[in-house]
Amino acid sequence: MTSTQDTSPYGNVGSLRRAPTSPRTLFSTLMNVVVFTCVALALLPLLAVLFYVLAQGISSINVEALTQLPPPPGVPGGGFANAIIGTLLMVGIGALISIPFGVLAAIYLSEFSSGPVADWTRFATNVLSGVPSIIVGVFAYGIIVLDPFGLLHYKGYSAWAGGFALAILMLPIIVRTTDEALKLVPSELRQASVGLGATQFETVTRVVLPTAIPAILTGVTLAIARAAGETAPLLFTALFTQFWPNWSGGLQGPTASLAVLVYNFATAPYKHQQELAWAASLILVLMVLLTSVVARVATARKVYQ
């Protein structure tokens, strides 16, 4: 290098070679390592949980476990089929209540409201999403199970009460994600629709909603995944039972669910019940995983680009 370059305030400008020991490069390399380590640490709990549940539960999964009722303590055999059905049933009831209300509320928020009404509604939704699930359970207990005003046809512990509690948990998730999904639809699409002489209702139902469906479905999946795993609300509303759901009696009476079964059996002093708890955990994780994958595949068009 010539002397003219040595006098540049930037130092040795002319050289194109790597300088692995220069402070800048060293620092950059160090930060790369740090970031990578953090990623590994962040993934660790997820992988650890999945593997551990898989390892503990896989040996207890068999046709009997998936089709039979829970055995009395100390008795071998039996399964948790009623819990699988119960979870599906109560999440289903929760979804049936929360999806229509949630999506319509989000449509109102995004398309028809503005200013303070919209702001306060969004705020209230966020507060609701932060309410501890056990409080939701107690609330459902007070309203549905105890039925203080005598308004309900069915009272007491029931799948309806459980589904109702889950619906309250699912509602804010659905409202928030649908709201975001609708906001993602570009305004130029709305303008095109309005420009063709469509009313606001037609624009929302024929253009905005269809475009937002993939993102809305993702939100619904998230809500379902959350609801399927909740235990506290079900403790006050559906309890647990060794028997099938009460199909002939209008689904009244305590109803089994996977989460509560795990709660009851995991710490029971009987080895077989603990094994069933692990198996139930594995089934629950797999159900949630499956729902996410199915939703991803079904909405392969992804969010509108």
Partner 1 sequence: MRSDTRTANQTDKVLRTENLNIYYGSFLALKDINLDIAKNQVTAFIGPSGCGKSTLLRCYNRLNDLIKTFRAEGKVLYNNQNLYGADIDPVQVRRQIGMVFQRPNPFPKSIYDNIVFGPRINGFKGDLDELVERSLRQAALWDEVKDKLRESGLSLSGGQQQRLCIARAIAVQPQVILMDEPCSALDPRSTLRVEELIRELKEHYTIVIVTHNMQQASRVSDMTAFFNVNPTDGKRQGYLVEYDRTETVFQSPKEKSTQEYVSGRFG
Among the candidate windows 45-53, 205-213, 252-260, 261-269, which touches partner 1 by CB under 8 A? 205-213
Query: Does position 191 bind partner 1 by CB under 8 A?
Result: yes
As measured in angstroms, the least distance from the Cβ of 121 to partner 1 is 18
Cβ atoms of residues 196 and 71 within 8 Å: no
Would you count residue 193 as binding partner 1 (CB under 8 A)? yes
Binding mask 64-103 toward partner 1 (x if CB under 8 A, else -) reads ----------------------------------------
Residue 210 touching partner 1 (CB under 8 A): yes
From the list 28-36, 37-45, 181-189, 283-291, the region that binds partner 1 by CB under 8 A is 181-189
Among 105, 159, 173, 207, the residue binding partner 1 under the rule CB under 8 A is: 207
For the CB of residue 90, give the shortest distance to partner 1 in the complex, in Å: 35
Of residues 67 and 199, the one with the C-beta less far from partner 1: 199
Within 98-157, which residues bind partner 1 (CB under 8 A)?
114
Query: Under the criterion CB under 8 A, does residue 23 sit at the interface with partner 1?
Result: no
> Rounded CA gap, 256 and 125, in Å?
30
Residue with Cβ nearer partner 1 (192 or 298):
192
Based on the shown chain and the rule CB under 8 A, indicate whether residue 21 belongs to the binding site for partner 1.
no
Contact residues for partner 1 (CB under 8 A)? Answer: 114, 186, 188-189, 191-199, 202, 206-207, 210-211, 304-305
